Every structure is written in C-alpha cells, then in structure tokens.
C-alpha cells in the first residue's frame, strides 16, 4: 500500500477546505436570500398620506411622529385594532389598522359591505354632551368599556346614539372600531297612528324620516340652538325645505324646526325641481366653467389601497364635463390626464381664460375613519352663493351626509377670481364613503348636482 505524499495530503486538505467553504457560502447566500425575502414580504408602505404614529395603541396616546406617504415599516404586533410598527430608521410606534395599507378598501369584501363604527369608552364617568362642544349641557355619563353606535363626527367630538337620545362625546375619551350595535326596534305605530301620520304628510310634497332615536329638532339650523322637539327613530316629518346642512321640518303636533341631515333621510326633490323651474331663465349655456381635478401625476393625493384620489377626481371631472357640455356649457380642465399640475398654474388657467366659474374637485382623508360626507369650500364672499347652491344639490342627491359649506384657505380658490369653490366629495379614509364613490352612479349624481347648481346660480 502506498502512502500519500505530503503534497498530496496538502492538496486534499485544500480541496476539503474549498468544498466546505463553498457549502458555507452557499448556505449563507440561501439564508440571506430567505431573510431578505421575508423582510421584503413583511415590509409595508404608507399609502394614505401622512399617518400619525402614536406611543400606544389608541388615539389617547401622544403622537410620537408623523409618517410620510411612501415610508416603509414592518409590523411587530397587533393590539385593539392598532399595529405596533418599526420604521426603517429604527423608530417604533403604533398606527391604526384602518389606515394601514394591508387593511384598506382594496379588500373587495370590505368595499362592498361597508360598515358602521362603534365608540368604546376608555374610562369611567365620561361626560356626554348635548351639543358638539364640551361647553354645552351634560346630558349623562358613560363608563369604562361601554359601547355606543357612532352617528357622525364634528371636529374632535363624536355624535353617538346615547340610549334613547343623541349625545356628543370627546374623541379622546373613546376608542373607535368598525361594527354596529343592534338597537332595539322603535315603538311601532298603531293603525290609527299610521293613518293619522299618512293624512298629515298628504298635505306636503315630501317627508323626512329620522334614522336615530331621540333626534333633536332645533329652533335654528345650527347644532347649538335650542332643542324644541325630540323625535323617535323612523318618525316621519313634513319636509319644508333645507337650510345649510339641516332639513326644515314640521312634526305632526305642529312643531317646526331643523333636523341635521346626518340623522335623517328625505324623499324630497325640491332642489332638483327648483333647477328645472329656472332652466328657461338660466344663462349658463355658453358660459365657460373650469373644472379642476385635484392632484395628478407624481401627486396621488389621498390613497386607500389601490384607489388614488388623483384618479377618482379625474374620473369625476370627466363625467361632470360631459354633462355640462351636453347642456351647452363650455368646459376647460386644468388637467385632462394623469399629469402633475402645480397649484398656481391651475388658478392661472382659469383667470387667463376669463372663465365664469372655477370648481375644484377633491376626495378628502382623515386619521379618524369616522369622518365622512361632502363639504363645499369657498374663500371669498362672492363665492358663497355658488357654494350654497352646490351644497344644497349634493345634500339632496348624494348618499353621503352633507357637512355644509365652509370657508377654506386653499390656494386654488384663493388665487382664483370669484366664484371659485372646492368640493370634497367624500373621504378616502372612510370605507362607507369609498363604497359610495366606487359606483359610477355616484359621479353621475355629482355631475347633475353641479349642473343644477349652475342653472340656479346663473339667472337673467
């Protein structure tokens, strides 16, 4: 038997070491690839604009920082509909599930179903107020872990179904989660009572039906005016008109007052009928209207899942443009496609064309998923009539609540000669709103509302 020479032994050791090194390197590459794959797969991206990251799982915790759109993060844990995340820079905190990319309305089931919202009280003896202000009368108290259906949100106050009444509670005293609490049905009318109601309503062209228990009928069209009547759920009132975000109604006992539109439904067509009756004297035909689809190009606006505001505003504007042109109105667009146009040039297009009205179209977003509805903004007093006409039409035709008209210091309307308005047509952060404006019928109703408002606004 021959023995290996020292050189052969050395070569074998080299080969063994080389094979071993290759195996180790291969395993390292595979491990690195797996880690990278898992990291990439688990990495999420903020797509809803700016999100407030908080120190704990709830809106009562302080905001630690604001996360910009496009920022990437990984989820560490979930608790109470909040995600504990860590950013690429190592900062960690909590963001609400409803603003997280993987929880948004690109989920077809959520988009189709819609949802209500529940307020869960976070401590004992929390005051419930009569109006949307902590300076208003306290009507009761809510305790830790009690749950109430949310009806509406105004600023940092939440409108809730408080037992058989309507109340307001500070947002920082509750946790908001999706869902609906089943309510006991309201008292059914007897045959005699129903007959009396039908006879009463027969004297009027339209009716308004309460959608919550204990709805407040107020002396004026404002949320801080005197409550003069409390209605039952499903109670019907005679429709007398609209004022701002309120229906002017009459109860069967003769009481007249104002009912917030977010607490009721109406079958009235009075606003559309007004436009039809004034069509022959309107001077809108031949006038030039500038439509401004918000955002575009590198500026997506508000985002919910795969739905971007810039695309929704453009689609809306195209439908509005078509209806206005069919009626004989000249229409200019600040953008015709997915192009970025800065704010100043949008107003310049309108001013240089010496057009007759500027209408900017947007879809809003908020950190609070309960914020909902349409809002019409004006900058100067000369734009108020057009804003009010558009708001009245939207309130009558649209499925979302009207938030009324408001002053808005937005550059596109500030730099535009009056009349110039900006319309927020719903909230990308609210799944119910998204469900509504995902339907083609929604854009048709927006278009008809704007046309009707222009017909009324421009008279001989």
Is the same domain home to 357 and 445? yes
Final residue of a structural domain among 250, 266, 282: 266
pLDDT more than 90, % of the chain: 69
| Cα–Cα nearest to 267, from 245, 239, 246, 242 | 239
Burial class of residue 8 in the structure, from the number of CB atoms within 10 Å of its CB (0-12 exposed, 13-18 middle, 19+ buried)? exposed
Determine the Cα–Cα distance for residues 135 and 112; give it in Å rounded to an integer. 39
Confidence label for 5 from pLDDT (cuts 50, 70 and 90): low
Residue 186 located in a structural domain:
no
Range picked from 93-97, 100-104, 292-296 for highest mean pLDDT: 292-296
Residue 401 has pLDDT above 80, yes or no: yes
Confidence label for 216 from pLDDT (cuts 50, 70 and 90): very high
Final residue of a structural domain among 266, 290, 321: 266
Is the same domain home to 288 and 433? yes
Residue 166 located in a structural domain:
yes
Which residues have C-beta within 8 Å of that of residue 169, sequence separation ≥ 6?
119, 121, 126, 127, 128, 129, 142, 148, 157, 158, 160, 162
Confidence label for 106 from pLDDT (cuts 50, 70 and 90): very low
Instruction: Name the domain count of the chain.
Output: 4
What is the mean pLDDT of the segment spanning 24-46? 63
pLDDT digits (tens, 9 = 90+) for 147-171: 999 999 999 999 999 999 999 999 9
Is the same domain home to 218 and 154? no
Burial class of residue 147 in the structure, from the number of CB atoms within 10 Å of its CB (0-12 exposed, 13-18 middle, 19+ buried)? middle
Residue 278 located in a structural domain:
yes
pLDDT digits (tens, 9 = 90+) for 107-156: 434 444 446 899 999 999 999 999 999 999 999 999 999 999 999 999 99
pLDDT digits (tens, 9 = 90+) for 228-269: 999 999 999 999 999 999 999 999 999 999 999 999 999 999
Q: Output 6 or 195, whichever has higher pLDDT.
A: 195
Beta bridge partners of 237: 208
Q: Under a CB-based contact definition with an 8 Å cutoff, are residues 167 and 134 in contact?
A: no
Residue 7 located in a structural domain:
no
Is the same domain home to 405 and 345? yes
Residue 38 has pLDDT above 50, yes or no: no
Confidence label for 288 from pLDDT (cuts 50, 70 and 90): very high
Q: Output 111 or 216, whichever has higher pLDDT.
A: 216
Determine the Cα–Cα distance for residues 255 and 74; give it in Å rounded to an integer. 57
Is the same domain home to 31 and 97? yes
Is the same domain home to 295 and 422? yes
Q: Residue 281 is part of which domain span?
A: 270-457
Residue 61 located in a structural domain:
yes
What is the mean pLDDT of the segment spanning 284-310? 94
Is the same domain home to 354 and 445? yes
What is the mean pLDDT of the segment spanning 91-98? 83
Q: Output 42 or 370, whichever has higher pLDDT.
A: 370
Output the domain CATH number for residue 405.
Answer: 3.40.630.40
Q: How many CA atoms lie less than 13 Å away from 307 in the CB half-sphere?
A: 24
- DSSP string over 97-160: GGGSGGGSTTSHHHHHH---EEEEE-SSSEEEESSSSTTS-EEEEE-TT-EEEEEEEETTEEEE
Beta bridge partners of 43: 74
Residue 278 has pLDDT above 70, yes or no: yes
Amino acid 10: pLDDT? 58
Percent of the chain that is helix, strand, coil (3-state, to 5)? 35, 30, 35
Residue 32 has pLDDT above 80, yes or no: no
Beta strand 147-154 pairing with 117-121: antiparallel
Sign of CA pseudo-dihedral 107, 110, 112, 117: negative
Amino acid 109: pLDDT? 42
Final residue of a structural domain among 103, 138, 155: 103
What is the mean pLDDT of the segment spanning 276-302? 97
Is the same domain home to 123 and 200? no
The overall average pLDDT reported for the chain is: 89
Output the domain CATH number for residue 47.
Answer: 2.30.30.40
Residue 65 has pLDDT above 80, yes or no: yes
Q: Under a CB-based contact definition with an 8 Å cutoff, are residues 403 and 335 in contact?
A: no
Residue 290 located in a structural domain:
yes
Cis peptide before 50 (omega within 30 of 0): no
Which residues have C-beta within 8 Å of that of residue 53, sequence separation ≥ 6?
63, 64, 65, 66, 67, 85, 91, 93, 94, 95
Residue 6 located in a structural domain:
no
Is the same domain home to 21 and 164? no
Q: Output 52 or 206, whichever has higher pLDDT.
A: 206
Burial class of residue 404 in the structure, from the number of CB atoms within 10 Å of its CB (0-12 exposed, 13-18 middle, 19+ buried)? buried
CA angle 124, 128, 130 (to 5 degrees): 170
Tokens of 344: 């100043």
Determine the Cα–Cα distance for residues 87 and 71; give it in Å rounded to an integer. 8
Q: Under a CB-based contact definition with an 8 Å cutoff, are residues 368 and 170 in contact?
A: no
What is the mean pLDDT of the segment spanning 383-396? 99
Burial class of residue 426 in the structure, from the number of CB atoms within 10 Å of its CB (0-12 exposed, 13-18 middle, 19+ buried)? buried
Confidence label for 78 from pLDDT (cuts 50, 70 and 90): confident
- φ/ψ region of 4 (left if φ > 0, alpha if ψ in -120 to 50, else beta) reads beta
Amino acid 8: pLDDT? 58
Is the same domain home to 364 and 452? yes
Candidate from 173-182, 396-405, 407-416, 434-443 with smallest mean pLDDT: 173-182
Determine the Cα–Cα distance for residues 16 and 38; give it in Å rounded to an integer. 33
Residue 183 located in a structural domain:
no
Residue 2 has pLDDT above 60, yes or no: no
Amino acid 128: pLDDT? 98
Amino acid 259: pLDDT? 99
Is the same domain home to 318 and 402? yes
Residue 36 has pLDDT above 60, yes or no: no
Is the same domain home to 96 and 136? no
Confidence label for 48 from pLDDT (cuts 50, 70 and 90): low
What is the mean pLDDT of the segment spanning 362-383? 94
Amino acid 66: pLDDT? 82
């Amino acid at each position: 038997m021959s023995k290996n020479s020292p050189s052969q032994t050395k070569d074998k050791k080299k080969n063994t070491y080389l094979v071993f090194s290759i195996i180790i390197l291969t395993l390292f590459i595979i491990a690195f690839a797996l880690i990278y794959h898992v990291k990439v797969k688990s990495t999420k991206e903020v797509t809803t604009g700016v999100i407030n990251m908080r120190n704990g799982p709830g809106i009562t915790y302080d905001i630690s920082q604001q996360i910009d759109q496009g920022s990437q993060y990984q989820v560490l844990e979930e608790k109470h509909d909040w995600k504990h995340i860590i950013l690429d820079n190592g900062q960690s905190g909590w963001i609400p599930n409803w603003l997280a990319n993987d929880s948004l309305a690109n989920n077809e089931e959520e988009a189709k179903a819609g949802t209500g919202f529940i307020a869960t009280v976070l401590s004992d003896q929390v005051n419930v107020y009569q109006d949307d202000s902590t300076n208003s009368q306290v009507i009761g108290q809510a305790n830790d872990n009690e749950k109430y259906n949310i009806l509406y949100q105004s600023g940092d106050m939440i409108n809730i179904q408080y037992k058989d009444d309507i109340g307001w509670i500070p947002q920082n005293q509750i946790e908001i989660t999706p869902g609906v609490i089943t309510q006991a049905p309201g008292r059914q009318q007897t045959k005699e009572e129903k007959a009396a109601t039908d006879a009463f309503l027969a004297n009027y062209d339209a009716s308004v039906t309460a959608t919550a228990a204990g709805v407040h009928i107020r002396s004026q069209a404002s949320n801080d005016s005197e409550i003069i009547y409390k209605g039952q759920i499903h109670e019907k009132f005679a429709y007398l008109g609209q004022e701002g975000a309120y229906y002017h109604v009459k109860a069967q006992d003769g009481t007249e007052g104002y009912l917030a539109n977010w607490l009721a439904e109406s079958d009235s067509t009075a606003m559309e009928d007004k436009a039809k009756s004034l069509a022959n004297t309107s001077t809108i035909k031949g006038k030039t209207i500038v439509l401004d689809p918000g955002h575009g190009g590198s500026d997506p606006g508000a985002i919910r899942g795969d739905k971007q505001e810039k695309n929704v505003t453009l689609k809306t504007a195209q439908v509005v443009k078509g209806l206005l042109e069919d009626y004989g109105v000249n229409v200019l667009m600040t953008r015709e496609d997915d192009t970025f146009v800065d704010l100043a040039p949008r107003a310049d297009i309108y001013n240089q064309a010496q057009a007759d009205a500027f209408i900017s179209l947007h879809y809003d977003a908020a950190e609070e998923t309960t914020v909902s509805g349409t809002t019409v903004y004006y900058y100067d007093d000369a734009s108020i009539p057009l804003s009010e006409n558009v708001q009245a039409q939207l309130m009558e035709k649209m499925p979302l609540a009207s938030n009324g008209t408001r002053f808005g210091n937005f550059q596109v309307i500030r730099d535009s000669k009056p009349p110039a308005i900006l319309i927020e047509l719903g909230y990308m952060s609210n799944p119910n709103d998204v469900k509504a404006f995902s339907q083609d019928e929604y854009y048709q109703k927006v278009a008809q509302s704007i046309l009707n408002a222009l017909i009324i606004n421009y008279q001989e």
